Amino acid sequence: SNLILRIYTATRKLVGDDFTILVKLTASEFFEGGVTFDETRIVCKKLEQVGVDGIVVSGNIHGKADTMIGESHDGFTIQAEGYFHEYGHAISQDVNIPVITVGGLTDFNAIEAIANNTGIEYFALSRPLLSEPHLVKRWKEGDRSPVECERCSKCRTKRGNFCVVNKDRKVQLSHI
């Protein structure tokens, strides 16, 4: 935790107080000897004390989310929609800064339910936007159907990050 605090302090010194700094960290590494959720909660409290503007709660399930859905770790269950929102909710009870959840967020109604049931107000999207770059606009215009992201994690390639399933992606990106 000292390293992340030193990085934050140095970054804050460089950018000043008017620049928002979020810290993204793993809720748990989900393996023996890895970072535990209890350790993460302690770090989050320290981050709040030094002035971090918000915390993004993620997890160590890269490329294997579908196989871990429903598993319980540290007393929480990895969810099909919003993998780590239970962890984010717990952290939001510990700190008085925004907590952002990420992971498997493809359904507007599910995101809205998480917001209503946990008090989490912020959600980070990555793969859904690679699959559907105009997603936020579509949702804002009232089409709340789920994203066509298959959560296959094939979008992380050596050539960059892009959806290999959605064939219309290049056409959509040319209009952004």
Dihedral sign of CA atoms 119, 66, 56, 39 in order: positive
Q: Compare 64 and 41 and report the one with higher pLDDT.
A: 41
* pLDDT at 153 exceeding the cut of 90: no
pTM recorded for the entire structure: 0.81
Place of tokens 């793993």: 26
**Ordered DSSP codes for the chain:** -HHHHHHHHHHHHHH-TTS--EEEEES---STTS--HHHHHHHHHHHHHHT-SEEEEE-S-TT-HHHHTT-EETTEE--SSSTTHHHHHHHHHH-SS-EEEESS---HHHHHHHHHHH---EEE-SHHHHH-TTHHHHHHTT--PPP------TTEETTEE--SS-TTHHHHHTT-
Q: Where in the chain is the domain with CATH 3.20.20.70?
A: 2-124
pLDDT at 160: 81
pLDDT at 72: 66
* pLDDT at 171 exceeding the cut of 50: no
Kindly report which listed range (17-31, 62-76, 100-114, 118-132) carries the lowest average pLDDT score: 62-76
* pLDDT at 141 exceeding the cut of 70: yes
pLDDT at 83: 79
pLDDT digits (tens, 9 = 90+) for 85-105: 888 999 999 999 999 998 888
Structural contact between residues 135 and 128, judged by C-beta atoms closer than 8 angstroms: yes
pLDDT at 97: 97
Place of tokens 């967020």: 105
pLDDT interval class at 151 (50, 70, 90): confident
2-124: CATH, from 3.40.630.30, 3.40.1010.10, 3.20.20.70, 3.30.70.120 = 3.20.20.70
Whole-number average pLDDT of the chain: 84
* pLDDT at 63 exceeding the cut of 80: no
pLDDT digits (tens, 9 = 90+) for 49-61: 999 999 999 876 6
